[in-house]
């Protein structure tokens, strides 16, 4: 049979158009983008060495080996689509990391409304230089379009002969299929060896235990690389949501049970404040990105937080109060303060486990005769609040639709109007005694306060995000002062326990700006404390016990401490926070494993190795022998693991059912 070959295509047939060449170009481009991402992370004590690049190449092989099984045109189109998708994923991770110092996960993507609503905040995280990240698309997209739409190229690479039949077509096609299968198999085997092998080695040596007790995604990334991290995250999500759901390891359940049994056996040290303010109203304000470093500070002779400073004179001010948030940010602060469990290492508990059982502050106070209400002038579904707040037993959630939009600002309503309208509702619609939890918005990133509301001369910081942040905080402080006056005028102040605390940091990480503002050089300990300390102010109805408290405390401590003041025993509840009034020693643990007990301060390394972390002696503020932090580190690790186990597997419900069954049988 005479076989006629198609006419020569206008596309080049040289080495550049060879499948192996195209595949290698794909691998190199993706590896370069992963390296660029790593360069932009500036993660502490993490390097991208040769073995890390090997893992990255192995991961790319596992993601793309199947393209070898396709005809050449299909392979090219598939590699192009993988390029586009992986580039988008890597870049999204880079932008997300700039704000959250973390990576995207499946739970976060399912909370896309939270990310999307950041709006202008995201715009500030995108740099002009990022355009280079997409430079290869200028070649990839046109080349793919030619492959897709060029009739000559399509004819040449999809039909081995004009007729499509005959010995030439059959034998040639069979040989090509064999070569594709061989190449794909080699890519798969190489991928498994290059990616899985080193990761398994790490997990059995210096990263032992990481996959059992991952407290920070950056630590996982340090072992797996970005692509394998996302693969592991997808595996975990599927494991948790397919079939009958996850089952807790018996040892983990026993550890959690023992932890709370020990806590409940410890007799509380009730002081003069225990129950002194029984039946008092409780108002807690969670201030958006309200940090501690600017409390008591001035700029250009003007106090940044004058009303907060004045209120401090008749209140308790906690100078080393830490936010304990993770990826859930504002929702994590809410969760920690009102439920007294550690937020999750991945995603927000508000979104992931809103249907689980918790001993929340509003539910406890409701059982003690309180009207419980939450105020937030934003959409009720954001962070899944509407559902979560029902589970937390709030009587009413005053969200955006419950407020008159008489002074729009930023995300929604100005804090001044928000406070005024909230106090009006407390005065006219809410029955005493009441618990009111308020969440502010005006000092949200990127801190673009309208000019007419800017009352602070920030001097050399004018036009910078740092300067804008100081303006926003100054405005919130002014709104806070007016709220306090309003409470006094309405006769609510004298019978109210009033608390104000910050929810998380401001996401401004440039050390030089803090040094410029504070007028001194800062070390690692200084910066870690600055970025993790938020103020806590507690005003008691009679102004008692006022002063500055230097012992460490954190958001998880709020619920046990409020219950102490109201005379409600905290022993029977599943809380992990400290009661700051019972006189016991306390350790504050942050979500990434950082902890402080007032004597030492431990800063973990992102590489997950204990010895790579830094242990500081707080009396000298210098590094000390790492052994001094070892007991606290072990305790911090245990607490995080217990909290994660309790939340993930809904153990509070399980423990209550077991207790009820035991009581019935007796």
* CATH number of the domain to which 471 belongs: 3.40.720.10
Claim to verify: residue 38 and residue 149 sit in the same structural domain: yes
| pLDDT at position 168 | 45
One domain for residues 410 and 552:
yes
> Are residues 190 and 298 located together in one domain of the fold?
no
What is the percent of the chain where pLDDT is above 70? 87
Residue 91 located in a structural domain: yes
Element (H, E) at 601: strand 600-603
Q: In terms of domains, do 233 and 288 share one?
A: no
Backbone torsions φ then ψ of 295, nearest 5 degrees: -65, 130
Among 543, 578, 613, which residue terminates a domain? 578
Q: Is residue 113 part of a domain?
A: yes
**Could you tell me which of 74, 15, 61 has the C-alpha nearest to residue 185?**
61
DSSP state of 287: E
Q: Looking at residues 295-314, what average pLDDT do you find?
A: 97
Region 293-309: mean pLDDT is 97
**Dist CA 54 CA 57 (whole Å):** 5
In a domain, 100, yes or no: yes
Answer yes or no: is pLDDT of 60 > 50.
yes
Nearest CA to 546 among 320, 321, 315, 319? Answer: 315
Angle between helical axes of 151-158 and 137-149 (0-180°, round to 10): 70
**What pLDDT shows up at residue 82?**
96
400-429: pLDDT as tens digits: 989 999 999 987 899 999 999 999 999 999
Residue 8, class by beta-carbon neighbours within 10 Å (0-12 exposed, 13-18 middle, 19+ buried)?
Answer: exposed
Q: Is residue 207 part of a domain?
A: yes
Same domain, 198 and 341: no
Q: Are residues 225 and 362 in the same domain?
A: no
* 210-214, 340-344, 460-464, 583-587: least confident range: 210-214
Residue 617 resides in a domain: no
Whether pLDDT at 297 is above 80: yes
Does the residue 23 lie in any domain? yes
Residue 650 domain flag: no
Q: How many domains does the chain have?
A: 2
Q: 415 and 328 in one domain? A: yes
DSSP one-letter string for 157-221: HH-SSSSS-SHHHHHHHHHHHHHHHHHHHHHHHHHIIIIIHHHHHHHHTTTTTTTTS---HHHHH
pLDDT value at residue 164: 42
Note the pTM of the prediction, 2 decimals: 0.76
Do the Cβ atoms of 356 and 384 come closer than 8 Å?
A: no
**What does DSSP say about strands 547-549 and 316-318: parallel, antiparallel, or unpaired?**
parallel
Render pLDDT for 354-412 as a digit per residue (tens, 0 to 9).
889 999 999 999 999 999 999 999 988 788 898 899 999 999 999 998 999 999 998 78
- Tell me which DSSP letter residue 533 carries: B
Mean pLDDT of the chain: 88
- Whether residue 170 has pLDDT greater than 60: no
Burial of 42 (0-12, 13-18, 19+ CB in 10 A): exposed
Q: What distance, in Å, lies between the first and last C-alpha atoms of the chain?
A: 93
Q: What is the pLDDT of residue 397?
A: 95
pLDDT at 213 over 60: no
Mean pLDDT to the nearest integer, 133-161: 73
Last residue of a domain, one of 561, 578, 595: 578
List 617's β-bridge partners, or say none.
Answer: 600, 622
Which of 578, 593, 611 corresponds to the end of one domain? Answer: 578
Q: How far apart are CA 648 and CA 549, in angstroms?
A: 34
229 with 318, same domain? no
- Tell me which of 159 and 476 has the higher pLDDT: 476
Which range of residues forms the domain containing residue 518? 270-578
Domain match, 145 and 51 both = yes
Query: Quick one: pLDDT at residue 144?
Result: 85
**Structural domain includes residue 483:** yes
351 and 302 within one domain: yes
Residues 109 and 197 in one domain: yes
How many Cβ atoms from other residues are within 10 Å of residue 84's Cβ? 15
Half-sphere exposure of 496 (CA within 13 A, CB side): 23
Average pLDDT over residues 215-235: 85
Predicted confidence at residue 162, as pLDDT, reads 40
Q: Which residue has the higher pLDDT, 612 or 156?
A: 612
Same domain, 333 and 472: yes
């Amino acid at each position: 049979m005479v076989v006629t070959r198609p006419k020569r295509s206008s596309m080049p047939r040289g080495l550049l158009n060879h499948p192996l060449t195209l595949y290698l170009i794909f691998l190199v481009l993706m590896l370069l983008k992963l390296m660029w991402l790593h360069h932009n992370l500036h993660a502490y004590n993490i390097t991208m060495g040769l073995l890390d690049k090997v893992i990255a190449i192995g991961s790319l092989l596992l993601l793309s080996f199947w393209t070898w099984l396709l005809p050449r045109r299909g392979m090219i189109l598939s590699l192009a689509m993988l390029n586009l998708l992986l580039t988008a994923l890597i870049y999204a991770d880079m932008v997300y990391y700039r704000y959250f110092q973390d990576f995207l996960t499946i739970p976060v993507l399912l909370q896309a409304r939270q990310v999307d609503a950041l709006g202008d905040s995201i715009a500030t995280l995108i740099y002009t230089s990022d355009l280079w990240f997409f430079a290869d698309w200028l070649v990839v997209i046109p080349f793919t379009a030619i492959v897709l739409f060029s009739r000559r190229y399509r004819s040449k690479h999809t039909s081995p002969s004009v007729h499509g039949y005959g010995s030439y077509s059959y034998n040639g096609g069979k040989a090509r299929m064999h070569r594709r299968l061989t190449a794909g198999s080699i890519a798969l085997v190489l991928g498994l060896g290059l990616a899985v092998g080193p990761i398994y080695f790490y997990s059995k040596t210096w990263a032992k235990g990481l996959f059992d007790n991952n407290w920070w995604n950056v630590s996982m990334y340090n072992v797996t690389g970005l692509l394998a991290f996302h693969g592991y995250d997808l595996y975990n999500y599927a494991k948790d949501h397919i079939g009958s759901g996850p089952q807790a390891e018996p040892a983990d359940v026993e550890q959690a049970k023992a932890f709370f049994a020990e806590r409940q056996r410890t007799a509380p040290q009730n002081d003069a404040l225990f129950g002194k303010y029984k039946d008092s109203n409780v108002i807690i304000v969670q201030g958006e990105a309200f940090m501690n470093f600017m409390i008591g500070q001035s700029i250009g002779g003007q106090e940044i937080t004058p009303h907060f400073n004045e209120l401090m004179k008749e209140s308790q001010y906690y100078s080393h109060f830490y936010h304990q948030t993770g990826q859930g940010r504002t929702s994590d602060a809410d969760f920690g303060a009102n439920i007294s469990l550690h937020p999750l290492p991945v995603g927000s508990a508000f979104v992931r486990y809103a249907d689980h059982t918790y001993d929340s502050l509003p539910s406890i106070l409701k059982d003690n005769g309180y009207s419980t209400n939450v105020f937030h002038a934003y959409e009720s579904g954001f962070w899944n609040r509407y559902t979560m707040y029902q589970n937390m037993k709030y009587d009413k959630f005053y969200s955006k639709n419950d407020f008159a939009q008489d002074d729009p600002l930023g995300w929604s309503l100005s804090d001044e109007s928000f406070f005024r309208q909230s106090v009006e509702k407390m005065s006219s619609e809410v029955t005493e005694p009441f618990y009111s939890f308020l969440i502010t918005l005006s000092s949200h990133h990127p801190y673009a306060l309208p000019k007419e509301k800017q009352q602070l001369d920030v001097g050399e910081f004018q036009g910078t995000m740092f300067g804008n942040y100081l303006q926003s905080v100054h405005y919130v402080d002014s709104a806070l002062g007016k709220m306090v006056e309003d409470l006094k005028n309405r006769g609510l102040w004298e019978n109210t326990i009033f608390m104000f605390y910050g929810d998380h940091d401001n996401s401004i990480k440039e050390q030089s700006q803090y040094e410029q503002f504070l007028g001194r050089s800062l070390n690692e300990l200084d910066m870690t404390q600055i970025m993790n300390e938020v103020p806590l102010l507690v005003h008691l109805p009679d102004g008692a016990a006022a002063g500055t408290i230097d012992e460490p405390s954190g958001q998880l401590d709020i619920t046990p401490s409020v219950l102490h003041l109201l005379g409600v025993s905290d022993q029977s509840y599943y809380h992990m926070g400290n009661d700051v009034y019972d006189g016991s020693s306390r350790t504050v643990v942050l979500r990434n494993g950082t902890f402080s007990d007032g004597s030492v301060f431990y800063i973990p390394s992102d590489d997950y190795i204990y010895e790579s972390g830094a242990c500081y002696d707080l009396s000298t503020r210098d590094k000390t022998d790492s052994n001094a932090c070892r007991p606290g580190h072990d305790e911090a690790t245990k607490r995080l693991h217990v909290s994660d186990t309790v939340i993930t597997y809904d153990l509070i419900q399980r423990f209550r059912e077991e207790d009820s069954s035991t009581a019935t049988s007796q």
